[in-house]
Amino acid sequence: MREFQFQESVLGSIAFRDEVMKLDRAGVEVYARQHGSSAPTYRITPRHADAFEKITVGDLFRSHYPPVYMEDFAQALIAAGNDAPKIDLFTL
């Protein structure tokens, strides 16, 4: 398995979205985890490839890094308010 390459630590939903979109434009897959933690790690899906794309049970339980849509992750950060953790973003 390839190793993660650290990219950036971000705080808040806007910085998270901005950095994910920048990395997506560079053509790399983006992974995220709470700052300073080694697990869990999620694969961030920046946008739907098509309007009917869904995350499946197989994606959640049979992949090493479960996918999370960027906007869902960002909304969770918003909901956490001042308790939102710093997020480390990685690529492979």
* Model pLDDT for residues 57-88, shown as the tens digit of each residue: 888 888 889 999 999 999 999 999 999 999 99
Q: Model's pTM, two decimal places?
A: 0.86
Q: What is the mean pLDDT of the chain?
A: 89
Q: What is the pLDDT of residue 22?
A: 94
3-state secondary structure of 69: strand
Q: Which of 23, 19, 24 lies closest to 87 in space, CA to CA?
A: 19
Q: In degrees rounded to 5, what are phi and psi of residue 75?
A: -65, -35
Q: How confident is the model at residue 12 (pLDDT cuts 50, 70, 90)?
A: very high
* Model pLDDT for residues 42-58, shown as the tens digit of each residue: 999 987 666 667 888 88
Residue bearing tokens 């956490």? 80
| 8-state DSSP, 64 | S
Instruction: Compute how many other C-beta atoms are within 10 angstroms of the C-beta atom of residue 32.
Output: 23
- If you compute the radius of gyration of the chain from its CA atoms, what whole number of angstroms results? 13
